[in-house]
Amino acid sequence: MDIDRITFRILSGYIEKLCGLVLDDSKTYLIENRLSPLVESLGCKGMAELYQRAVQDSTHEIDRKIVDLITTPETAFFRDPQVFDALRYRIIPDVVDNKRGRGETSPNIRFWSAGCSTGQEVYSIAMACHEMLHHTGIEFSVLGTDISATNISKASAGIYSDAEVQKGLNQSQIETCFQRVAAGWKIRDELRSRATFKRLNLLESFAGIGRFDVVFCRNVSIYFSPDVKTALYQRIARVMMTDGFLVLGSAESLFEPQPLFKPKRHLRTLFYQRTRELP
Ligand SMILES: C[S@@+](CC[C@H](N)C(=O)[O-])C[C@H]1O[C@@H](n2cnc3c(N)ncnc32)[C@H](O)[C@@H]1O
């Protein structure tokens, strides 16, 4: 289904407003390929009518379908494994030390996986924490959020196919952390109970989600505009503990000098620590 230049510009501007994704002219094929099935299923004559219907739909159901089709849920357990080494051997010990330094006798570490897709990142954090903390009496919890309700519902069910668990986990991890069910492999209750999930658009308010010791926001903002990225990281800083840690994807960085964060390294992994109280 071909899309003319004007309709492409209108639809790509609409998508940027919905979820932050910037689609330049080289991405015409992406809109054509991914949204054509929706155009057909809604009985629209073309992309222009899809746009009109979406704008008029007060339930925002069409918006949700567009976002589901246009965003990429690509993920894996322990994606970029070196990040999880940084988590195990630098971030978790530093968070525990900082909390004990503040006089917290039974610390509870709060993680946020922002843009968690279908949940593999959330459960990988829970597995790494369980491994490091299970004899210590230190509690932890992981909030997973994503703009896509479809992703959140799969994450919350915690059931993965053979191919999904094999992407990032070895046989021993699969058998220790999951149980066989008819539909595949279900995350064990002990790990599932550490996680909560919520649909959240990162362009909208974070009210009510609380404050976090560690935020993972990986492979989400790659295609956001520089202004949207800067604003997002500043808003994330506001829901982090003063000395908390921010982990971005391997292709992402806080390019501009950000007084709120200072870069830290564990071997070749770069991550950030929040530096000071916000005004
Ligand atoms: C490529 S996946 C990354 C998943 C995981 N963080 C990882 O690195 O494996 C990107 C996720 O970001 C979500 N996303 C995109 N735009 C978003 C927005 N504005 N608010 C919240 N989530 C968003 C998508 O739905 C998708 O699940």
Per-residue pLDDT tens over the stretch 68-120: 999 999 999 999 999 999 999 999 999 999 999 999 988 899 999 999 999 99
CA-closest residue to ligand 1 atom 2: 73
| Digit-coded pLDDT (tens) for 140-168 | 999 999 999 999 999 999 999 999 999 99
Residue whose tokens read 């799969």: 154
* pLDDT above 90: residue 278: no
Distance CA 274, CA 213 (A): 10
Task: Give me the sheet containing 195-199, strands edge to edge.
Answer: 195-199, 139-146, 108-114, 212-217, 240-248, 269-274, 261-266
Q: What is the pLDDT of residue 40?
A: 97
- Closest ligand 1 atom to 201 CA: 20
pLDDT tier for residue 259 given thresholds of 50, 70 and 90: confident
Map out the domains of the chain with their CATH numbers: 5-70 (1.10.155), 81-274 (3.40.50.150)
**Radius of gyration in angstroms for the set of CA atoms belonging to the chain, rounded to a whole number:** 20
Q: What is the pLDDT of residue 105?
A: 83
Please state the pTM of the whole predicted model. 0.96
| Digit-coded pLDDT (tens) for 198-256 | 999 999 999 999 999 999 999 999 999 999 999 999 999 999 999 999 999 999 988 66
Q: Which residues line ligand 1 (CB under 6 A)?
A: 19-20, 71-75, 79, 115-117, 121, 146-148, 151, 201-203, 218-220, 249
